[in-house]
Chain A
Amino acid sequence: MRIAVVEDDDFYGKYLKHIIEMVPEYTVSHFKNGTDFFKQDLSVFETITLDYSLPDMSCEGVISKLKKQNNSSNIVVVSAQEDVSTAVKLLQSGVYDYVVKNDDTKERIWNTLRNLTEKQSLEKEIETLSGEVRSKYDFRQIIKGSSAEIEHVFSVLQKAVKSNITVSISGETGTGKELVAKAIHYNSAFSNKSLVTVNMAAIPSELVESELFGHEKGAFTGAENKRIGKFEEANGGTIFLDEVAELGMPLQAKLLRVLQEKEVVRVGGNKPITLDMRIIVASHKNLLEEVGKGNFREDLYYRLMGLPVHLPPLRERKNDIIFLAKYFSDLFAKENGMPIKNIAKSARAKLLNHFWPGNVRELKAVMELAVVMSESESIEAMDLTLNSSSTAPHILLEQKTLKEYTNTIIEHHLAKHSGNVVRVAEKLDVGKSTIYRMIKNGEIKVV
């Protein structure tokens, strides 16, 4: 650590320099007045010890000038001045410590510098980790794919991080809503404060109010201590309200008031706490439909809608399925020291024809299992364990004509039986010539 000692008394300056340099990691430069000190390149000093009484500048003047120069060095005032109010004022102005020149100065200085070294080490560690977190939550790190649908999501996310607008994320289960919330937070101006996630579906209804808004001691039976709510915890950062559609009507009214007033009052309290944070909400349900059904307040819906981010289901990102499958299988193989495997043509067909009700989460699980099950250089169709029972109800969610449904069903079975038309005809109780004709006419594809 490089330290500047600004001390007009050359006896005490030499003494300070010596005791500080007794610690091998510290290098000291001594300046006898403010003018000489400010002639130097001050960016090299991580810490400055400053005498309170300099001949040419006041201590406050030096501190103020350093602030104007955006100097980030830690300042330790070392002075014979023992007036407590002076010390308090200096500490309030941002001075790291105030050391009185007395019999304990040597120990106090060493202690302060040791604490500063630890503080700087922690700051560096936080900076490194923050960089790693930002990198980890870079949009393209967490959302893999290059389909038009995903490119659109990227462009919306870029807009989200440039302001504090409320973001509403919609998407089926397994599409990565929480990861997107994290990516928005860690790439935004709120990233130096907490991201607090609250899953509305996971909190018993009777606890939601105190969980969100906190409570005062004695607010209700069992409230033995004061509790900070999630909104207060997230103040200055981001609150992510997952499965917001699960919030009951009475609490929807309270949430609306919090959003409108930008302040929260703890349960049983009367003191409003001002809030400044980003709000991100998500739901696998269609909130507008919930409004239509009378389950969700319309005014709250419009307050929360903000910037909508829709994460498309995997089945609508056909172009990304194979890319993601390869990504997940490679990642799992690397993490487990297993050989990287190709995905055979038959397996690709099977992946493309699956409905993926569990979306990316399901694909990841399927590919990890496939890497384990595969006994050859490639992942074959038989290595893919797909949960076909869950596809039936979901297929009906797609808005298709009867003809399109017919084509989808035949394509699905062809893929499942490796293009064996005779077997599919038997299974579906249709003529094999019908299937051949559909293939010939291009109505269905055999992958």
Chain B
Amino acid sequence: MSDIYDLTEIREMSGNDQDFIKELIQLFVKNNIEYLQEINLANEQKDWAQVKFFAHKIKPSILVIHADILKQPILDLNEYAGKQINLEMIPELLDLLNEQLPNICASLENEIK
């Protein structure tokens, strides 16, 4: 159990199917670690379209596991990069993402050990 995400809905909808939950978590971790690397690279290159693209990729899975701490930051990242506004806010938002997303992944992996 963690306070940075909530798997209650996934557990309920799967009937607490451990195999399904394990597989879902593995996919979450695998994809998001990759997306995080890509979004950082895109930011270094000031490629805002790619920043938006990967924010867009990360967003749905964040919502599914109810990682509410990252919900607004990822929505903002998606919007700012997409519209190329408030670009000065992007490093700060990415810092939060870089700090929280690996934490979430680590915590999730612990759940399935």
Q: Which residues of A contact B (CB under 8 A)?
A: 9-12, 14-15, 18-19, 22, 53, 80-81, 101-103, 105-106
Contacts of A22 in B (CB 8 A): 13
**Cα distance A367–B87 when bound, in Å?**
89
Q: Is the CB of B60 within 8 A of A101?
A: yes
Provide the residues of chain A in CB contact with B112, threshold 8 Å: none
Closest to B75 in A: A82
In the complex where A11-B61, A12-B61 touch, is A80 in contact with B56 (Cβ < 8 A)? yes
Contact B24 A11, beta carbon cutoff 8 Å: yes
Ranked nearest first, the 5 interchain pairs of A and B with the lowest CB-CB distance are: A101-B60, A11-B27, A80-B59, A80-B56, A12-B60
Looking at chain B's contact residues, is the secondary structure mostly helix, strand, loop, or mixed? helix
19 other A-B residue contacts (CB within 8 Å) besides A12-B64, A14-B23, A80-B60: A9-B60, A9-B61, A10-B31, A11-B31, A12-B60, A12-B61, A14-B24, A15-B24, A15-B64, A18-B13, A22-B13, A53-B56, A53-B57, A80-B56, A81-B56, A101-B59, A101-B60, A101-B63, A106-B9
Roughly how many angstroms separate A81 CA and B55 CA in the complex, as a whole number?
11
- Complex CA gap A103/B9 in Å reads 11
B5 contacts the other chain (CB 8 A)? no
Asked whether A14 and B27 contact (CB < 8 A) given A19-B13, A22-B13, the answer is yes
Cα A19 to Cα B57 with chains together (Å) = 19
B53 interface residue (CB < 8 Å to A): yes
Give bound CA distance, A81 to B78, whole Å. Answer: 9
How many contacts A-B (CB < 8 Å)? 44
Residues of A within 8 Å of B31, CB to CB, are 9-11
Q: Give Cα A22–Cα B20 distance, bound, in whole angstroms.
A: 13
B75 CB, nearest partner CB in chain A, Å: 9
Minimal beta-carbon separation of B9 from chain A (angstroms): 8
Quick check: is B80 within 8 A (CB to CB) of the other chain? no
Which residues of chain B have C-beta atoms less than 8 A from A106's C-beta? 9, 13
CA distance A12 to B59 in the complex (A): 10
Contact B63 A103 (CB under 8 A): yes
Residues of A within 8 A of B24 (CB): 11, 14-15
Residues of B close to A101: CB separation below 8 A: 59-60, 63
B37 adjacent to chain A (CB < 8 Å):
no
